[in-house]
Structure 1
Amino acid sequence: MIHNITSKLYADVPQERLYHYTSFSGLLGIVKSRSLWTSDIRYMNDSAELKHTADLLKTEVSRRITAGHAMPDLLNQFLDWVTHRITNGHMLFAASFRSNGNLLSQWRGYSRHGKGVSLGFNPEYIMRCADQQAFQIGKCIYSCEQQELLICQVVDAVEELAEEHDGRLTERDSGGNHVYNQIFEMIESDLLRIAAILKHPSFREEEEWRIVSPVITNYHQAAVQFREGVSMLVPYIEFRLSSMGNGPIDLEHLFLGPTPNIGISMNSLTMFLSQNGIQPQKGISYCQIPFRGK
Protein backbone atom coordinates (compact mmCIF):
# COMPACT_ATOMS: atom_id res chain seq x y z
CA MET A 1 0.00 0.00 0.00
CA ILE A 2 2.60 2.58 1.03
CA HIS A 3 4.73 1.86 -2.05
CA ASN A 4 1.75 2.75 -4.23
CA ILE A 5 1.44 6.06 -2.37
CA THR A 6 5.08 6.89 -3.02
CA SER A 7 4.87 5.92 -6.69
CA LYS A 8 1.99 8.33 -7.23
CA LEU A 9 3.76 11.15 -5.42
CA TYR A 10 6.78 10.87 -7.70
CA ALA A 11 4.76 10.44 -10.88
CA ASP A 12 4.46 14.20 -11.54
CA VAL A 13 6.67 15.44 -14.36
CA PRO A 14 7.87 19.07 -14.25
CA GLN A 15 6.94 21.10 -17.32
CA GLU A 16 8.49 24.44 -16.40
CA ARG A 17 12.15 25.42 -16.23
CA LEU A 18 13.77 24.34 -12.96
CA TYR A 19 15.98 26.81 -11.10
CA HIS A 20 18.63 25.99 -8.53
CA TYR A 21 19.72 28.89 -6.30
CA THR A 22 23.32 29.00 -5.17
CA SER A 23 26.18 31.30 -4.21
CA PHE A 24 29.12 32.23 -6.42
CA SER A 25 31.25 29.60 -4.68
CA GLY A 26 28.47 27.08 -5.31
CA LEU A 27 28.41 28.05 -8.99
CA LEU A 28 32.17 27.56 -9.27
CA GLY A 29 31.89 24.10 -7.73
CA ILE A 30 28.89 23.05 -9.83
CA VAL A 31 30.51 24.06 -13.12
CA LYS A 32 33.91 22.57 -12.32
CA SER A 33 32.56 19.26 -10.95
CA ARG A 34 29.54 19.10 -13.31
CA SER A 35 27.43 18.11 -10.34
CA LEU A 36 25.17 19.29 -7.54
CA TRP A 37 25.68 18.37 -3.92
CA THR A 38 22.56 16.61 -2.69
CA SER A 39 22.34 16.79 1.11
CA ASP A 40 21.01 14.21 3.54
CA ILE A 41 17.42 15.39 4.13
CA ARG A 42 17.98 15.18 7.89
CA TYR A 43 20.39 18.10 7.53
CA MET A 44 18.31 20.35 5.28
CA ASN A 45 17.00 23.56 6.89
CA ASP A 46 18.62 22.72 10.24
CA SER A 47 16.93 19.32 10.60
CA ALA A 48 13.42 20.77 10.27
CA GLU A 49 12.54 18.64 7.25
CA LEU A 50 11.92 15.28 8.92
CA LYS A 51 10.65 16.90 12.11
CA HIS A 52 7.67 18.29 10.19
CA THR A 53 6.67 14.77 9.13
CA ALA A 54 7.26 13.45 12.65
CA ASP A 55 5.00 16.18 14.06
CA LEU A 56 2.25 15.27 11.58
CA LEU A 57 2.56 11.60 12.57
CA LYS A 58 2.40 12.48 16.25
CA THR A 59 -0.82 14.42 15.71
CA GLU A 60 -2.46 11.57 13.79
CA VAL A 61 -1.35 8.91 16.27
CA SER A 62 -2.60 10.98 19.21
CA ARG A 63 -5.94 11.44 17.47
CA ARG A 64 -6.35 7.69 16.95
CA ILE A 65 -5.36 6.78 20.50
CA THR A 66 -7.72 9.40 21.94
CA ALA A 67 -10.50 7.92 19.79
CA GLY A 68 -9.93 4.52 21.41
CA HIS A 69 -7.65 2.72 18.96
CA ALA A 70 -7.54 -1.04 19.53
CA MET A 71 -3.72 -1.22 19.37
CA PRO A 72 -2.25 1.82 21.14
CA ASP A 73 1.00 -0.09 21.80
CA LEU A 74 1.53 -0.40 18.02
CA LEU A 75 1.04 3.33 17.48
CA ASN A 76 3.18 4.39 20.44
CA GLN A 77 5.99 2.09 19.32
CA PHE A 78 5.72 3.55 15.82
CA LEU A 79 6.14 7.09 17.18
CA ASP A 80 9.15 6.05 19.29
CA TRP A 81 10.69 4.33 16.28
CA VAL A 82 10.16 7.36 14.01
CA THR A 83 11.71 9.68 16.61
CA HIS A 84 14.80 7.45 16.81
CA ARG A 85 15.15 6.93 13.06
CA ILE A 86 15.04 10.66 12.34
CA THR A 87 18.64 10.93 13.50
CA ASN A 88 19.85 7.34 13.22
CA GLY A 89 18.05 5.78 10.26
CA HIS A 90 18.64 5.22 6.57
CA MET A 91 19.94 8.12 4.50
CA LEU A 92 18.16 9.92 1.68
CA PHE A 93 19.76 12.77 -0.25
CA ALA A 94 18.03 15.62 -2.05
CA ALA A 95 18.62 18.91 -3.85
CA SER A 96 16.10 21.68 -4.42
CA PHE A 97 14.83 23.39 -7.54
CA ARG A 98 12.28 26.19 -7.87
CA SER A 99 9.81 26.92 -10.64
CA ASN A 100 10.52 30.62 -10.09
CA GLY A 101 14.13 31.65 -10.60
CA ASN A 102 13.68 35.17 -9.27
CA LEU A 103 12.24 34.96 -5.76
CA LEU A 104 13.11 37.67 -3.24
CA SER A 105 12.97 35.17 -0.36
CA GLN A 106 15.63 33.06 -2.07
CA TRP A 107 17.86 36.00 -2.90
CA ARG A 108 17.79 36.96 0.76
CA GLY A 109 19.30 33.58 1.54
CA TYR A 110 21.79 33.34 -1.31
CA SER A 111 22.70 36.96 -2.11
CA ARG A 112 23.24 38.59 1.24
CA HIS A 113 26.59 39.86 0.00
CA GLY A 114 25.62 40.35 -3.64
CA LYS A 115 26.95 36.93 -4.60
CA GLY A 116 24.02 34.76 -5.72
CA VAL A 117 22.71 33.17 -8.91
CA SER A 118 19.89 30.88 -9.89
CA LEU A 119 20.65 28.30 -12.55
CA GLY A 120 17.80 27.44 -14.92
CA PHE A 121 17.64 23.94 -16.40
CA ASN A 122 15.34 22.34 -18.93
CA PRO A 123 13.22 19.87 -16.89
CA GLU A 124 13.79 17.11 -19.45
CA TYR A 125 17.53 17.48 -18.94
CA ILE A 126 17.19 17.13 -15.16
CA MET A 127 14.88 14.14 -15.60
CA ARG A 128 17.40 12.49 -17.92
CA CYS A 129 20.24 13.03 -15.43
CA ALA A 130 18.02 11.67 -12.63
CA ASP A 131 17.11 8.53 -14.57
CA GLN A 132 20.76 7.79 -15.24
CA GLN A 133 21.50 7.86 -11.49
CA ALA A 134 18.30 6.19 -10.19
CA PHE A 135 17.16 9.46 -8.63
CA GLN A 136 13.50 10.46 -8.53
CA ILE A 137 11.99 13.92 -8.84
CA GLY A 138 9.02 15.00 -6.78
CA LYS A 139 6.98 18.15 -6.34
CA CYS A 140 6.84 19.37 -2.75
CA ILE A 141 3.47 19.28 -1.01
CA TYR A 142 2.40 22.28 1.07
CA SER A 143 -1.34 21.72 1.46
CA CYS A 144 -2.30 20.87 5.06
CA GLU A 145 -5.23 18.78 3.85
CA GLN A 146 -3.10 16.75 1.44
CA GLN A 147 -0.38 16.24 4.04
CA GLU A 148 -2.89 15.04 6.65
CA LEU A 149 -4.39 12.60 4.14
CA LEU A 150 -0.95 11.20 3.29
CA ILE A 151 -0.03 10.78 6.94
CA CYS A 152 -3.35 9.03 7.57
CA GLN A 153 -2.54 6.64 4.72
CA VAL A 154 0.90 5.96 6.18
CA VAL A 155 -0.55 5.02 9.57
CA ASP A 156 -3.19 2.89 7.83
CA ALA A 157 -0.37 1.06 6.04
CA VAL A 158 1.40 0.41 9.36
CA GLU A 159 -1.80 -1.02 10.85
CA GLU A 160 -2.40 -3.25 7.82
CA LEU A 161 1.14 -4.63 7.94
CA ALA A 162 0.82 -5.30 11.67
CA GLU A 163 -2.37 -7.29 11.08
CA GLU A 164 -0.83 -9.25 8.21
CA HIS A 165 2.29 -10.19 10.20
CA ASP A 166 0.83 -10.48 13.68
CA GLY A 167 1.27 -14.25 13.82
CA ARG A 168 4.90 -13.97 12.72
CA LEU A 169 6.00 -11.45 15.37
CA THR A 170 8.12 -13.24 17.95
CA GLU A 171 9.89 -10.45 19.83
CA ARG A 172 8.11 -9.04 22.90
CA ASP A 173 8.91 -6.26 25.34
CA SER A 174 9.04 -6.49 29.14
CA GLY A 175 5.28 -6.06 29.33
CA GLY A 176 4.63 -8.98 27.00
CA ASN A 177 3.58 -6.76 24.08
CA HIS A 178 4.71 -7.46 20.54
CA VAL A 179 7.68 -5.42 19.29
CA TYR A 180 6.85 -4.11 15.83
CA ASN A 181 10.23 -2.82 14.64
CA GLN A 182 10.41 -5.32 11.79
CA ILE A 183 7.05 -4.00 10.57
CA PHE A 184 8.25 -0.41 10.69
CA GLU A 185 11.42 -1.28 8.80
CA MET A 186 9.29 -2.47 5.89
CA ILE A 187 8.03 1.07 5.30
CA GLU A 188 11.15 3.06 6.17
CA SER A 189 12.32 3.71 2.61
CA ASP A 190 8.90 4.84 1.42
CA LEU A 191 8.34 6.93 4.54
CA LEU A 192 11.60 8.77 3.86
CA ARG A 193 10.59 9.48 0.28
CA ILE A 194 7.26 10.86 1.46
CA ALA A 195 8.91 12.99 4.15
CA ALA A 196 11.34 14.40 1.58
CA ILE A 197 8.58 16.32 -0.20
CA LEU A 198 6.34 17.33 2.70
CA LYS A 199 7.09 20.97 3.51
CA HIS A 200 5.60 23.43 5.93
CA PRO A 201 2.80 25.49 4.30
CA SER A 202 4.66 28.73 5.05
CA PHE A 203 7.11 27.84 2.23
CA ARG A 204 4.35 27.54 -0.36
CA GLU A 205 5.58 30.40 -2.58
CA GLU A 206 8.77 28.48 -3.37
CA GLU A 207 6.96 25.93 -5.58
CA GLU A 208 9.81 23.55 -4.91
CA TRP A 209 10.75 20.38 -6.76
CA ARG A 210 13.30 17.97 -5.35
CA ILE A 211 15.59 15.41 -6.86
CA VAL A 212 15.76 12.52 -4.41
CA SER A 213 18.40 9.80 -4.26
CA PRO A 214 17.90 6.08 -3.74
CA VAL A 215 17.71 5.21 -0.04
CA ILE A 216 21.16 4.47 1.36
CA THR A 217 21.30 1.87 4.10
CA ASN A 218 25.08 1.68 4.49
CA TYR A 219 27.02 4.92 4.15
CA HIS A 220 30.35 3.04 4.23
CA GLN A 221 29.49 1.46 0.88
CA ALA A 222 28.13 4.62 -0.72
CA ALA A 223 29.89 7.70 -2.11
CA VAL A 224 28.94 9.83 0.90
CA GLN A 225 31.09 12.92 1.43
CA PHE A 226 30.92 15.75 3.95
CA ARG A 227 30.83 19.54 3.72
CA GLU A 228 30.85 22.26 6.33
CA GLY A 229 27.38 23.44 7.30
CA VAL A 230 26.29 26.35 9.48
CA SER A 231 26.79 24.45 12.72
CA MET A 232 27.75 20.88 11.75
CA LEU A 233 29.22 18.63 9.09
CA VAL A 234 26.60 17.85 6.43
CA PRO A 235 26.66 14.50 4.55
CA TYR A 236 26.14 14.79 0.80
CA ILE A 237 26.47 12.83 -2.43
CA GLU A 238 27.04 14.21 -5.90
CA PHE A 239 24.29 14.41 -8.50
CA ARG A 240 25.98 14.49 -11.90
CA LEU A 241 24.68 17.21 -14.19
CA SER A 242 26.39 16.16 -17.40
CA SER A 243 24.34 13.61 -19.32
CA MET A 244 26.99 13.52 -22.06
CA GLY A 245 29.98 12.01 -20.28
CA ASN A 246 32.48 14.75 -19.48
CA GLY A 247 30.73 17.49 -21.45
CA PRO A 248 29.73 20.81 -19.90
CA ILE A 249 26.45 21.16 -18.03
CA ASP A 250 23.51 22.16 -20.22
CA LEU A 251 22.36 25.42 -18.67
CA GLU A 252 19.26 26.99 -20.24
CA HIS A 253 19.14 30.29 -18.35
CA LEU A 254 20.79 32.11 -15.47
CA PHE A 255 19.60 34.87 -13.14
CA LEU A 256 22.17 37.06 -11.42
CA GLY A 257 20.97 38.00 -7.95
CA PRO A 258 20.98 41.48 -6.39
CA THR A 259 24.43 43.04 -6.57
CA PRO A 260 25.93 46.55 -6.40
CA ASN A 261 28.13 45.73 -9.43
CA ILE A 262 25.68 44.65 -12.11
CA GLY A 263 27.71 45.41 -15.24
CA ILE A 264 31.06 43.92 -14.32
CA SER A 265 29.40 40.98 -12.52
CA MET A 266 27.41 40.11 -15.65
CA ASN A 267 30.60 40.39 -17.69
CA SER A 268 32.65 38.07 -15.49
CA LEU A 269 29.79 35.55 -15.33
CA THR A 270 29.63 35.47 -19.13
CA MET A 271 33.39 34.97 -19.40
CA PHE A 272 33.42 32.21 -16.78
CA LEU A 273 30.59 30.26 -18.40
CA SER A 274 32.06 30.66 -21.89
CA GLN A 275 35.47 29.49 -20.70
CA ASN A 276 33.77 26.31 -19.46
CA GLY A 277 31.83 25.72 -22.67
CA ILE A 278 28.48 26.93 -21.29
CA GLN A 279 26.26 29.28 -23.27
CA PRO A 280 22.78 29.49 -21.71
CA GLN A 281 20.22 29.24 -24.51
CA LYS A 282 18.06 31.96 -22.93
CA GLY A 283 21.00 34.06 -21.80
CA ILE A 284 21.81 35.70 -18.47
CA SER A 285 19.31 38.05 -16.83
CA TYR A 286 19.65 40.44 -13.94
CA CYS A 287 17.00 39.94 -11.27
CA GLN A 288 16.05 43.67 -11.27
CA ILE A 289 15.83 43.66 -7.47
CA PRO A 290 17.74 46.56 -5.83
CA PHE A 291 20.75 45.47 -3.79
CA ARG A 292 20.62 46.39 -0.11
CA GLY A 293 23.92 45.76 1.62
CA LYS A 294 24.12 45.26 5.38
Structure 2
Amino acid sequence: MKEIEALTRELYADSPQGTLYHYTTFSGLLGIVNSRALWASDIRYMNDSAELRHTANLIAAEVRERIDSGHADSGLLSLFVDWVSHRITNGRMLFGASFRSHGNLLSQWRGYSSPGRGVSLGFAPDYILRCAERQRFMIGKCIYEPARQRALIRQVVDAVEELAAGLGREDCPAGERSVLYRSAFSAVETDLLRIAAILKHPSFREEKEWRIVSPVFANSADSPILFREGHAMLVPYIEFGLSLDGRPLAMDHLYLGPTANINISMNSLGMFLEQNGIVPQRGIEYCQIPFRQR
Protein backbone atom coordinates (compact mmCIF):
# COMPACT_ATOMS: atom_id res chain seq x y z
CA MET A 1 0.00 0.00 0.00
CA LYS A 2 1.76 3.12 -1.24
CA GLU A 3 0.26 5.51 1.34
CA ILE A 4 1.41 3.41 4.29
CA GLU A 5 4.82 2.77 2.73
CA ALA A 6 5.28 6.52 2.27
CA LEU A 7 4.23 7.13 5.88
CA THR A 8 6.78 4.60 7.12
CA ARG A 9 9.56 6.14 5.03
CA GLU A 10 8.68 9.55 6.44
CA LEU A 11 8.76 8.31 10.05
CA TYR A 12 12.17 6.70 9.55
CA ALA A 13 13.65 9.62 7.61
CA ASP A 14 14.88 11.42 10.75
CA SER A 15 18.59 10.94 11.46
CA PRO A 16 20.10 11.20 14.95
CA GLN A 17 22.58 14.03 15.41
CA GLY A 18 24.11 13.32 18.81
CA THR A 19 25.77 10.33 20.47
CA LEU A 20 23.52 7.26 20.78
CA TYR A 21 23.78 5.36 24.06
CA HIS A 22 23.03 1.72 24.78
CA TYR A 23 22.61 0.80 28.45
CA THR A 24 23.74 -2.65 29.52
CA THR A 25 25.37 -4.70 32.28
CA PHE A 26 29.03 -5.71 32.54
CA SER A 27 27.96 -9.12 31.25
CA GLY A 28 26.28 -7.41 28.30
CA LEU A 29 29.42 -5.35 27.65
CA LEU A 30 31.57 -8.49 27.57
CA GLY A 31 29.18 -10.12 25.10
CA ILE A 32 28.96 -7.03 22.86
CA VAL A 33 32.73 -6.60 22.66
CA ASN A 34 33.44 -10.31 22.12
CA SER A 35 30.75 -10.75 19.44
CA ARG A 36 31.01 -7.19 18.06
CA ALA A 37 27.24 -7.20 17.98
CA LEU A 38 24.11 -6.13 19.85
CA TRP A 39 21.14 -8.35 20.46
CA ALA A 40 18.12 -7.15 18.51
CA SER A 41 15.11 -8.80 20.17
CA ASP A 42 11.81 -9.71 18.56
CA ILE A 43 9.74 -6.60 19.40
CA ARG A 44 6.88 -8.82 20.57
CA TYR A 45 9.12 -9.76 23.50
CA MET A 46 10.44 -6.29 24.35
CA ASN A 47 8.99 -5.12 27.69
CA ASP A 48 6.43 -7.96 27.43
CA SER A 49 5.26 -6.57 24.05
CA ALA A 50 4.03 -3.37 25.75
CA GLU A 51 4.80 -1.29 22.66
CA LEU A 52 2.73 -3.50 20.35
CA ARG A 53 -0.15 -3.60 22.84
CA HIS A 54 -0.01 0.19 23.00
CA THR A 55 -0.48 0.38 19.22
CA ALA A 56 -3.26 -2.23 19.35
CA ASN A 57 -5.03 -0.15 22.01
CA LEU A 58 -4.70 2.98 19.87
CA ILE A 59 -6.23 1.14 16.90
CA ALA A 60 -9.07 -0.21 19.06
CA ALA A 61 -9.84 3.30 20.36
CA GLU A 62 -9.89 4.74 16.84
CA VAL A 63 -12.17 1.94 15.63
CA ARG A 64 -14.58 2.39 18.56
CA GLU A 65 -14.83 6.09 17.76
CA ARG A 66 -15.65 5.38 14.10
CA ILE A 67 -18.22 2.71 14.94
CA ASP A 68 -19.89 4.94 17.55
CA SER A 69 -20.16 7.71 14.96
CA GLY A 70 -22.09 5.38 12.63
CA HIS A 71 -19.41 3.96 10.31
CA ALA A 72 -20.94 2.22 7.28
CA ASP A 73 -18.87 -0.97 7.61
CA SER A 74 -18.44 -1.73 11.30
CA GLY A 75 -17.80 -5.37 10.40
CA LEU A 76 -14.61 -4.43 8.55
CA LEU A 77 -13.33 -2.35 11.47
CA SER A 78 -14.17 -4.96 14.11
CA LEU A 79 -12.43 -7.63 12.04
CA PHE A 80 -9.36 -5.39 11.75
CA VAL A 81 -9.17 -4.96 15.55
CA ASP A 82 -9.43 -8.74 16.05
CA TRP A 83 -6.79 -9.36 13.38
CA VAL A 84 -4.36 -6.88 14.97
CA SER A 85 -4.84 -8.46 18.41
CA HIS A 86 -4.06 -11.91 16.98
CA ARG A 87 -1.07 -10.84 14.88
CA ILE A 88 0.67 -9.22 17.87
CA THR A 89 1.70 -12.66 19.08
CA ASN A 90 1.34 -14.76 15.94
CA GLY A 91 2.33 -12.55 13.04
CA ARG A 92 5.45 -11.59 11.16
CA MET A 93 8.64 -10.92 13.07
CA LEU A 94 10.49 -7.64 13.50
CA PHE A 95 13.64 -7.35 15.60
CA GLY A 96 14.87 -4.22 17.31
CA ALA A 97 17.41 -2.73 19.70
CA SER A 98 17.28 0.52 21.62
CA PHE A 99 19.53 3.55 21.95
CA ARG A 100 19.03 6.68 24.02
CA SER A 101 19.97 10.27 23.30
CA HIS A 102 20.85 10.68 27.00
CA GLY A 103 23.54 8.36 28.34
CA ASN A 104 23.19 9.10 32.04
CA LEU A 105 19.60 8.73 33.27
CA LEU A 106 18.85 7.21 36.68
CA SER A 107 15.70 5.53 35.34
CA GLN A 108 17.76 3.77 32.67
CA TRP A 109 20.44 2.64 35.12
CA ARG A 110 17.65 1.11 37.20
CA GLY A 111 15.90 -0.46 34.26
CA TYR A 112 18.76 -1.81 32.18
CA SER A 113 21.63 -2.59 34.52
CA SER A 114 22.31 -4.22 37.85
CA PRO A 115 23.41 -2.09 40.84
CA GLY A 116 27.16 -1.52 40.57
CA ARG A 117 27.38 -3.37 37.25
CA GLY A 118 26.14 -0.99 34.58
CA VAL A 119 27.63 0.84 31.61
CA SER A 120 26.21 3.12 28.95
CA LEU A 121 27.94 2.66 25.60
CA GLY A 122 27.97 5.74 23.37
CA PHE A 123 28.29 5.46 19.58
CA ALA A 124 28.56 8.18 16.96
CA PRO A 125 25.26 8.37 15.02
CA ASP A 126 26.89 8.04 11.59
CA TYR A 127 28.61 4.84 12.78
CA ILE A 128 25.30 3.27 13.79
CA LEU A 129 23.68 4.44 10.56
CA ARG A 130 26.43 2.80 8.49
CA CYS A 131 26.07 -0.45 10.46
CA ALA A 132 22.30 -0.32 9.97
CA GLU A 133 22.54 0.31 6.23
CA ARG A 134 24.85 -2.67 5.78
CA GLN A 135 22.33 -4.97 7.47
CA ARG A 136 19.17 -3.46 5.95
CA PHE A 137 18.03 -2.17 9.35
CA MET A 138 16.10 1.08 9.68
CA ILE A 139 16.52 3.60 12.49
CA GLY A 140 13.62 5.61 13.82
CA LYS A 141 13.01 8.14 16.57
CA CYS A 142 10.35 6.96 19.01
CA ILE A 143 7.14 8.97 19.12
CA TYR A 144 5.59 9.75 22.51
CA GLU A 145 3.10 12.57 21.81
CA PRO A 146 -0.50 11.22 22.09
CA ALA A 147 -1.91 13.61 19.47
CA ARG A 148 0.68 12.60 16.89
CA GLN A 149 0.18 8.91 17.67
CA ARG A 150 -3.59 9.22 17.18
CA ALA A 151 -3.06 11.06 13.90
CA LEU A 152 -0.78 8.28 12.64
CA ILE A 153 -3.26 5.58 13.62
CA ARG A 154 -6.05 7.46 11.80
CA GLN A 155 -3.91 7.37 8.67
CA VAL A 156 -3.37 3.62 9.09
CA VAL A 157 -7.09 2.89 9.53
CA ASP A 158 -7.94 5.19 6.60
CA ALA A 159 -5.52 3.21 4.41
CA VAL A 160 -7.01 -0.11 5.52
CA GLU A 161 -10.52 1.15 4.72
CA GLU A 162 -9.41 2.38 1.31
CA LEU A 163 -7.66 -0.88 0.48
CA ALA A 164 -10.66 -2.96 1.57
CA ALA A 165 -13.28 -0.73 -0.07
CA GLY A 166 -13.18 -2.42 -3.45
CA LEU A 167 -12.86 -5.96 -2.16
CA GLY A 168 -16.06 -6.79 -0.33
CA ARG A 169 -19.20 -6.28 -2.44
CA GLU A 170 -22.55 -6.23 -0.67
CA ASP A 171 -23.66 -9.41 -2.47
CA CYS A 172 -20.43 -11.17 -1.49
CA PRO A 173 -20.94 -13.92 1.16
CA ALA A 174 -19.73 -12.87 4.62
CA GLY A 175 -17.11 -15.62 4.78
CA GLU A 176 -15.63 -14.68 1.42
CA ARG A 177 -15.66 -11.00 2.35
CA SER A 178 -13.77 -11.80 5.56
CA VAL A 179 -11.03 -13.58 3.57
CA LEU A 180 -10.74 -10.61 1.21
CA TYR A 181 -10.52 -8.16 4.09
CA ARG A 182 -7.78 -10.19 5.74
CA SER A 183 -5.76 -10.03 2.54
CA ALA A 184 -6.02 -6.23 2.77
CA PHE A 185 -4.84 -6.30 6.38
CA SER A 186 -1.91 -8.52 5.42
CA ALA A 187 -0.83 -5.97 2.80
CA VAL A 188 -0.20 -3.35 5.49
CA GLU A 189 1.24 -5.66 8.17
CA THR A 190 4.92 -4.96 7.49
CA ASP A 191 4.49 -1.19 7.65
CA LEU A 192 2.15 -1.44 10.63
CA LEU A 193 4.84 -3.35 12.53
CA ARG A 194 7.47 -0.73 11.72
CA ILE A 195 5.14 2.05 12.84
CA ALA A 196 4.23 0.19 16.03
CA ALA A 197 7.93 -0.31 16.83
CA ILE A 198 8.42 3.43 17.41
CA LEU A 199 5.11 4.33 19.10
CA LYS A 200 5.74 4.38 22.85
CA HIS A 201 3.60 5.27 25.82
CA PRO A 202 3.96 8.98 26.76
CA SER A 203 5.22 8.06 30.25
CA PHE A 204 8.53 6.98 28.65
CA ARG A 205 9.24 10.29 26.88
CA GLU A 206 12.23 11.00 29.15
CA GLU A 207 14.14 8.23 27.39
CA LYS A 208 14.32 10.02 24.01
CA GLU A 209 14.76 6.62 22.42
CA TRP A 210 15.95 5.76 18.95
CA ARG A 211 15.24 2.25 17.77
CA ILE A 212 16.94 0.20 15.08
CA VAL A 213 14.60 -2.30 13.44
CA SER A 214 15.36 -5.23 11.18
CA PRO A 215 13.75 -6.29 7.94
CA VAL A 216 10.44 -8.07 8.57
CA PHE A 217 10.55 -11.87 8.52
CA ALA A 218 7.50 -13.97 7.63
CA ASN A 219 8.62 -16.99 9.66
CA SER A 220 11.50 -18.30 11.75
CA ALA A 221 12.95 -20.29 8.86
CA ASP A 222 13.69 -17.03 7.03
CA SER A 223 15.71 -15.43 9.82
CA PRO A 224 18.94 -16.23 11.70
CA ILE A 225 17.13 -16.45 15.05
CA LEU A 226 18.98 -17.11 18.28
CA PHE A 227 17.48 -17.37 21.77
CA ARG A 228 18.33 -15.93 25.17
CA GLU A 229 16.80 -16.40 28.58
CA GLY A 230 14.25 -13.72 29.50
CA HIS A 231 12.45 -13.08 32.77
CA ALA A 232 9.93 -15.86 32.25
CA MET A 233 10.49 -17.21 28.74
CA LEU A 234 12.96 -17.69 25.91
CA VAL A 235 13.39 -14.48 23.92
CA PRO A 236 14.12 -14.68 20.17
CA TYR A 237 16.76 -12.30 18.87
CA ILE A 238 19.14 -11.71 15.97
CA GLU A 239 22.54 -10.06 16.04
CA PHE A 240 23.10 -6.48 14.91
CA GLY A 241 26.74 -6.28 13.86
CA LEU A 242 28.71 -3.33 15.26
CA SER A 243 31.99 -3.84 13.45
CA LEU A 244 32.87 -2.17 10.16
CA ASP A 245 35.43 -4.03 8.02
CA GLY A 246 36.49 -6.21 10.94
CA ARG A 247 37.88 -3.30 12.95
CA PRO A 248 37.44 -2.93 16.75
CA LEU A 249 34.25 -1.29 17.96
CA ALA A 250 34.36 2.46 17.44
CA MET A 251 32.85 3.90 20.63
CA ASP A 252 32.39 7.61 20.99
CA HIS A 253 31.91 7.77 24.77
CA LEU A 254 31.22 5.52 27.73
CA TYR A 255 29.58 6.06 31.12
CA LEU A 256 30.21 3.82 34.12
CA GLY A 257 26.99 3.43 36.07
CA PRO A 258 26.46 3.93 39.83
CA THR A 259 28.91 1.85 41.86
CA ALA A 260 30.49 1.75 45.31
CA ASN A 261 33.89 0.97 43.73
CA ILE A 262 34.42 3.90 41.41
CA ASN A 263 38.22 4.01 41.11
CA ILE A 264 38.98 0.32 40.69
CA SER A 265 35.94 -0.19 38.47
CA MET A 266 37.01 2.67 36.18
CA ASN A 267 40.51 1.19 36.10
CA SER A 268 39.46 -2.34 35.11
CA LEU A 269 36.97 -0.98 32.57
CA GLY A 270 39.74 1.06 30.92
CA MET A 271 42.07 -1.96 30.86
CA PHE A 272 39.38 -4.14 29.26
CA LEU A 273 38.66 -1.63 26.50
CA GLU A 274 42.36 -1.06 25.82
CA GLN A 275 42.97 -4.80 25.57
CA ASN A 276 40.27 -4.97 22.90
CA GLY A 277 41.55 -1.99 20.94
CA ILE A 278 38.61 0.23 21.92
CA VAL A 279 39.41 3.89 22.56
CA PRO A 280 36.27 6.00 23.14
CA GLN A 281 36.80 9.33 21.37
CA ARG A 282 35.43 11.30 24.33
CA GLY A 283 36.76 8.96 26.98
CA ILE A 284 35.23 7.10 29.91
CA GLU A 285 33.23 9.03 32.48
CA TYR A 286 31.67 8.15 35.82
CA CYS A 287 27.95 8.93 36.00
CA GLN A 288 28.28 10.90 39.28
CA ILE A 289 25.01 9.40 40.56
CA PRO A 290 25.29 8.33 44.23
CA PHE A 291 25.33 4.55 44.59
CA ARG A 292 22.64 2.96 46.73
CA GLN A 293 22.55 -0.81 47.15
CA ARG A 294 19.05 -2.10 46.53
Fold conserved between structures, TM > 0.5 = yes
Report the equivalent of 1:202: 203
Report the equivalent of 2:223: 222
Report the equivalent of 1:43: 45
Report the equivalent of 1:276: 276
Q: Which ranges of structure 2 fall in alignment gaps of 5 or more residues?
A: none
Q: Which ranges of structure 1 fall in alignment gaps of 5 or more residues?
A: none
Q: How many matched pairs? A: 290
Report the equivalent of 2:116: 114
* 3-state SS of paired residue (1:68): coil
Alignment of 1:91-102 (within 5 A): 91-102=93-104
Q: Distance in 1 between matches of 2:187 and 2:150?
A: 21
Alignment of 1:47-126 (within 5 A): 47-126=49-128
Report the equivalent of 2:257: 257
Tell whether the 8 Å contact from 2:227 to 2:236 is kept in structure 1 after alignment: yes
Q: Which moved more, 1:212-221 or 1:54-63?
A: 212-221
Q: Which residue identity is paired with 2:237? A: Y
Tell whether the 8 Å contact from 1:111 to 1:258 is kept in structure 2 after alignment: no
Cα drift, residue 220 of structure 1 = 1.4
TM-score, length-scaled by structure 1: 0.96
Tell whether the 8 Å contact from 1:12 to 1:139 is kept in structure 2 after alignment: yes
Q: Which residue identity is paired with 1:80? A: D
Cα drift, residue 109 of structure 1 = 1.8
Report the equivalent of 1:20: 22
Tell whether the 8 Å contact from 2:143 to 2:198 is kept in structure 1 after alignment: yes
* Inter-CA distance 170–131: structure 2 relative to 1 (3 Å threshold): farther
Q: Distance in 2 between matches of 1:16 and 1:135?
A: 19
RMSD: 1.4
Q: Which residue identity is paired with 1:248? A: P
TM-score, length-scaled by structure 2: 0.96
Cα drift, residue 178 of structure 1 = 3.8
* 3-state SS of paired residue (1:125): helix
Report the equivalent of 2:153: 151
Tell whether the 8 Å contact from 1:95 to 1:212 is kept in structure 2 after alignment: yes
Q: Distance in 1 between matches of 2:34 and 2:211?
A: 22
* 3-state SS of paired residue (1:101): coil
Q: Which residue identity is paired with 1:289? A: I
